[in-house]
Structures are given as C-alpha cells and as structure tokens.
Structure 1
Amino acid sequence: MNVELTPCFILHSRSYLESSLILDIFSREHGRLHLIAKGAKREKSPFSGLLQPYQRLLMAWRGKSELMTLVDVEADIEAYELSDARTIAGFYINELLVRLLHQHEPHPELFDYYNKAIFDLSAAKPVDAILRVFEKGLLESLGYGLVLDHDVDDGLAIDAEKKYHYLIDSGPMRETPSTGDYIEITGNSLLALEQGCLQNKTELEESKRLMRFILQSHLGTKPLASRALYKAYMAN
C-alpha cells in the first residue's frame, strides 16, 4: 500500500527503539492507523520538528502490514497553538478517537469536526462548548447520533420549557421511564446541543452530564487519562 501526501493529524506517539517513533494518526481519507517514523528522533531527521500533535500535516506512507512506514511529511497549514488547559482538552479529544475509532475506517466528516475543534481551541473559544459539539459529531460519525429534537415516546417536538428523561438507548421523553438508564435534562439544553450553540451555565452543565453519560457506555470502565490530567492541573 503506497499512499501519497494526504491530510492527517497525530493523535499519539511513542518511542520505538533508540531513534524511531510509532505514530497513531488520524487521516482524512484512510482513518486511524499506525506508522513507524524511522530515525525521527535523530537531530538531522527530515521529520524533525514536524511530528507534533494538533498540527495538520500532509503525510505519505507505504507498507503491507498493520504498521506501515512514514516516507514523507509536510506541514499542511500553520500549527495550531494551544495553551496548557486547552492542550489538555486537545488530549481529551485525541484520547476519545484512540479509544473509539477502529483502524482503517475512513471518517472524513469526523476529520473535519476534529480539525474545527482544534482550530476553535486555538482561537480561544469556550472550551466546554467546543468539546460538547465535537462529542456530538463524534457519536454521529460512529453511527450513534443523539435524538435531540423530539420526544421518542410521543414524537412531539422538544419543548424548551419542559424537562425530559434521556434514555441511554433511545433518547428523550417526558414520562419517567419504567426501565433503563436515564438522565434528566431540560428541553432548552437539548435544543441548544442540537443547534451546537451552548451558551449559558445550565446548557453547558446539562449537556456535559448528558455527553458523559452517553460516552461512558461506549468507553467502558477504563478511566480516561485526560480527565485525571485535568483534575491534577486544576488542583495546582
């Protein structure tokens, strides 16, 4: 498999032997995959300074195994710069992709959601709103899109003035479910999340609880390292 320069982001990297790196990347056209960047840690490596997270790159690779070889890389656009707290938010987004994406499954729309989220983080837009909109797009791209505009019990449009019970496997309903896991949320917050326009404290807090509730069912019991890192950052 020979792939010419194509848009990518690096989600994670780790050392391999003395001078190389194993890269976990997200490609717009090829999905998530692993590459080996041979000699990338050497000072005179042609990859030096380029293999950074949150930078959109053009990457080329070749190979036939699950671990293919990086052969070329260029900066696609100027690198996004994230401050400390926003770097942790970026780490959280990357961790979600590593945990939830299967390898070699293209998700071009999700790539665009990711690119926008990283850009918005670098542009000093509200972090919580950025994360909720990305999480919503992530679930949609994976086939787990949320019902946010109507009551799944009676089909009526969501009323901003009413409260709902969001069933994890189906969606919001006014009546209290007799079975199943659910979380309470206002109609106003459901509509704000649907429109991707979260502004006030209630909308942000309720949408955060909802997304954490939904994502947990897909992530399993293993804790996210990014959440522990954020707690440690806030404690200092």
Structure 2
Amino acid sequence: MSDNRINHQPAFLLSSRPWSESSLQIEIFSRDYGRVVMLARSARRRQSELRGVLVPFVPLQLSWYGNNELKTLHRAEWVGGWPQPQNQALFSAMYVNELVLKLTAREDSLPSVYHAMYAVLQSICGGEHLAALRYFEWSLLHTLGVAPDISQDNLEQAIVCHERYWLRAEHPPVLLMQAQQLSAQEKGIVVHGHTLNALSNQSLASQPEWHPEALRLTRMLLDFRLPDGILSRQILKQLQQLTG
C-alpha cells in the first residue's frame, strides 16, 4: 500500500505542541494540500536539524508521508525570504495564522489562500501590514465563499464611490437611503462606496483614509464567522491597554 509521500511542498507552520518527550505535533498550511497535521519525530531533541527549521511566519518546504489524518514529517527545509516579525508585526502574523487555523478545513486544497498568506506575511515582516491585512482577510473570506459581493449593490447596480451603503453579514450592500426601512435590530455598518471599491481593487494603500471603514467591514464579517472571538486580537488589545 502506498504511504502517500508528498515531497518538497511549499508551506507555512501554523502551530506546534509537544508530543511525547522528544517530538512535536505540528499543523501546517501547504500550497496544494491545505491544512495538514503531522508528527515531527525527535524535533525537540537538541541535536535535531528540525529545531531551527520549524519556525512560523516564513516560507518552508516540507516533505511528509502517511495515509491517516496524522502524517509523519520526513524532511523540512527553511526557504527564507524575510526576517521574523517583531513587536506589533508579530501579533499581526499570529492573527493571520489564527484565521487560517479557525476558518479552513483540514486537507482542503486552497492554493489561493496559500498565495494570499505568502503575500501578507511578506508584507507584515517587511513593515507594511495594515492594508495587507485587509486584503488577506478579504481574500480568505472570498475564497471560502462567505464574503458578500461588494462590486455591486442589492439591485445589481455598480458601487458608486460617493454614496454610502448599509452592509450586513451574508448580504450585498444596500444604498443607505434605501436601508432606512430595515429593522433597527439588524446588525450592520455604514460604508462608503470608496471603501468598497478600494477593498475590491486593492488600492487601500494609496487611499489610507478609507482604511478604518475597511477594518470595520472585515471585522464585522469575521466576528460573524468566529463568534467566540479571535485570541490574538484580544491579546494585542490587552497589551495596548497596559502600555497605553
């Protein structure tokens, strides 16, 4: 019976935890196989070549085998490309990993998510993370099929930059003047057409004035999908309160 060997697969380390006295159980997100959980044997031993390789937030190349859900890591290579994130950038990178862990299913091939993850971690580690995070959030939600279509309103009309729209999770934008009849109990936010278009065509970096609205939009959509909250966001908020 084949042991289903996968060789030289681009991937990122999402999480790791001790497994027995000398090994690690790791969860990775790979380009072609999505989120995979595997055993890294002897990775905790001081002489193990894996100790300095299995690090998060930088590109890796992994080889593994196994027929069950828990695979066995065969080889890991550090590809490099950018430094480890520091300070607030570290929390942004942790946030990216947490979203992927919580929103994707194991062994669901999502190459576009891998490429979006590559782009956002490269930006975060390079010191540019605000707009990049919004693009990543939107790309992830869109790929998973849970983002509303913000290229047009509920009447299938193109979004107008100077107009304001009412947005709710799982609903297309509605012109604010038409949304007054919605129940006051409906949860949603008001967003300018400028913001919707900037998020769609990834031009937030050149239009920073629309970033706070884009943040409120993606946060609303993520909170709807993750009602128990996002731990990395909570930790960063607590640290900011302590140091503020």
TM-score scaled by structure 1?
Answer: 0.93
Deviation at 1:50, TM superposition (A): 0.3
Query: Partner amino acid for 2:174?
Result: M
Whether the 8 Å CA contact 1:148–1:190 is kept in 2: the answer is yes
Cα distance between partner residues in 2 of 1:196 and 1:25: 27
Given the alignment, which residue of 219, 222, 225 partners 1:218? 225
Cα distance between partner residues in 2 of 1:228 and 1:178: 31
Alignment partner, residue 138 of structure 2: 136
Matched, 1:227 2:233: yes
User: What CA RMSD, in Å, does the superposition of the two structures yield over aligned residues?
Assistant: 1.5
Query: Partner amino acid for 2:138?
Result: K
Q: Alignment partner of 2:161: what SS?
A: coil
Alignment partner, residue 22 of structure 1: 25
Alignment partner, residue 149 of structure 1: 151
Deviation at 1:70, TM superposition (A): 0.5
CA deviations over 1:9-30 (Å, ceiling 9, x no partner) = 0011111121111111001010
Query: How do 1:49-128 and structure 2 match up within 5 A?
Result: 49-125=52-128, 127-128=129-130
Q: Alignment partner of 1:171: what SS?
A: coil
How many residues in Structure 1 have an aligned counterpart in Structure 2? 233
Deviation at 1:201, TM superposition (A): 5.0
Cα distance between partner residues in 1 of 2:127 and 2:148: 27
Whether the 8 Å CA contact 1:80–1:118 is kept in 2: the answer is no
Q: Which moved more, 1:97-106 or 1:211-220?
A: 211-220
Q: % of aligned pairs identical?
A: 28
CA deviations over 1:66-124 (Å, ceiling 9, x no partner) = 11110101112334321211010000010001001100101001100000000011111
Q: Alignment partner of 1:147: what SS?
A: coil
Q: Alignment partner of 1:148: what SS?
A: coil
CA deviations over 1:193-230 (Å, ceiling 9, x no partner) = 1111214454111111111111112112x121101221
Whether the 8 Å CA contact 1:54–1:79 is kept in 2: the answer is no
Deviation at 1:185, TM superposition (A): 0.8
Gaps of 5+ in 1: none
Whether the 8 Å CA contact 1:2–1:63 is kept in 2: the answer is yes
Cα distance between partner residues in 2 of 1:146 and 1:198: 18
Q: Alignment partner of 2:105: what SS?
A: coil
Alignment partner, residue 182 of structure 2: 178
Query: Partner amino acid for 1:108?
Result: P
Cα distance between partner residues in 2 of 1:198 and 1:90: 19
TM-score scaled by structure 2?
Answer: 0.90
